[in-house]
Structure 1
Amino acid sequence: MGSIYLIRHGQASFGADDYDVLSPIGIRQAEVLGAHLAQLGTRIDRSVSGDLRRQQHTANSALQQLHDAGIAIPPLDIDSAFNEFDADAVIRSLLPGMLGEEPEALHILRNGAQNRAEFQRLFAKLVDRWISGEHDTPDLQSWQGFVEQVQGGLSRILEQANSKQNIAVFTSGGTITALLHLITSIAPAQAFELNWQIVNTSLSCLKFRGSQVSLASFNSHVHLQLLKAPELITYR
């Protein structure tokens, strides 16, 4: 069987003007991941990333560690199907309908770095609205549309793969969540409960034979745990 390693990007710049940039911790997480894979002698036959900078930077930083250890690495292919869903668009489109019950929501979401717990609570409520399909608008990609986007990316990988390959996909938490939903048939709401636990640079492993895919492991971050540095275990 072949393996697809779903790798969440390193910590991004939450609360900064541009979220789509790895923080210093995010860069370190990616380097630790690559060094761990090199130590294990992991062979990567193909690597794929979404086109977001945080995803590509994670991929390049991790793969460089393999290269430095003398392990051959493939070129990084870009497929925007593995991009994260547009969280800002979800907030912009669905927040107005929630202000009646959450009058402080706009202030909290604008100052998320100073209100992390409340930001997460409100963002989770907005995501629940989004995945329900009951609040779809023409200017917002629906949950179903996002799932179809991700499914297309997975299908392209499987069409081009052989059953012996190890394929690394550098992506984001929402994309991994959509894949969990597709592969295990877990309900979207339950899948997002798992989403909130996905650690930056964690690995989830899919096994495949032909078009048949199964989940082998989820959210492994032993490469970070072994360092006994709690600051490297982050979720956003």
Structure 2
Amino acid sequence: MGSIYLIRHGQASFGADDYDVLSPIGIRQAEVLGSHLAQLGTRLDRCVSGDLRRQQHTANSALQQLRAAGSSAPTLEIDAAFNEFNADAVIRALLPDMLGEEPEALHILRNAASHRAEFQRLFAKLIGRWISGDYDTPGLQSWHDFVTHVQGGLNRLLEQADSKQTIAVFTSGGTITALLHLITAIPPAQAFELNWQIVNTSLSCLKFRGSQVSLASFNSHVHLQLLKAPELITYR
């Protein structure tokens, strides 16, 4: 069987003007991941990333550590099917109808870094509306369309893969959630309950034979746990 490692990007710059940049912790997480894979003797046949900067930076930082340790590392390929959904667009489209019941929502979302718990509660509520399909809005990518887009990326991987290849996919939490939904048939709401637990640079492993895919492991972050540095275990 072949293996596909779904790797969430390192910690991004939550609360900053540009979220799509790794924080110093995010860079360190990626380096630790690459060193850990090298120590395990992991041989990657292919490495794919979405086209977001935080995904590519995580991939390149990890690959650099593999090469520095003398391990072979493939050239990074880009496939936008593994991008994250546009969370800002979801918030902008669905927030106005929620302000009647959440009058402080706009202030909280604009100051997310200092209201993390309330931001998460509101964001989860908005995501619940988005995945329900009851609030589909013109110009906003629906959950169904996002899942279809991710499915296309997975299909391309499988069509091009040899039966015993090991492939790393550097992606994001929402994309991993869509893949969990597709592969295990878990309902979207329950899949997003798992989403909130996905650690930055964690690995989830898929096993495949032909077009048949199964989930082998989820959210492993032992490379961070072994360092006994709690500040490296982050979720956003």
Opposite residue 18 of structure 2, the aligned amino acid is: D
1:79 — aligned with what?
79
- In the alignment, structure 1 segments of 5+ residues that lack a partner are none
1:19 is aligned with what amino acid?
Y
The equivalences for 1:49-88 within 5 A come to: 49-88=49-88
Matched AA of 2:195: N
Deviation at 1:181, TM superposition (A): 0.1
Superposition deviation, residue 72 in structure 1: 1.1
SS of 1:217 mapped into structure 2: strand
Aligned residue for 1:227? Answer: 227
In structure 2, how many angstroms separate the alpha carbons of the residues matched to 1:139 and 1:113? 28
What is the letter of the counterpart of residue 166 of structure 2? N
Q: Distance in 2 between matches of 1:69 and 1:26?
A: 20
Residue 54 of structure 1 aligns with an amino acid whose one-letter code is R
1:138 counterpart = 2:138: yes
Tell me which residue corresponds to 2:114: 114
Partners in 2 of 1:45 and 1:148 — Cα distance? Answer: 26
**Residues paired across the two proteins, number:** 236
* Counterpart Cα distance in 2 of 1:33 and 1:69: 12
User: 1: distance between equivalents of 2:36 and 2:122?
Assistant: 36
Match of 1:168 in 2: 168
Distance in structure 2 (CA, Å) of the matches to 1:25 and 1:177? 23
User: SS at 2:217's partner residue?
Assistant: strand
- In structure 2, C-alpha distance between the alignment counterparts of 1:215 and 1:198, rounded to whole Å: 15
Q: Cα RMSD over matched residues?
A: 0.3
The within-5 A match list for 1:125-204 is: 125-204=125-204
Secondary structure of the residue that 1:206 maps to in structure 2? strand
**SS at the partner of 1:101?**
coil
Structure 1 runs of 4+ with >3 Å offset: none
TM-score by length of 1: 1.00
SS of 1:218's equivalent in the other structure is strand
Report % sequence identity.
86
Q: Secondary structure at the match of 2:200?
A: coil
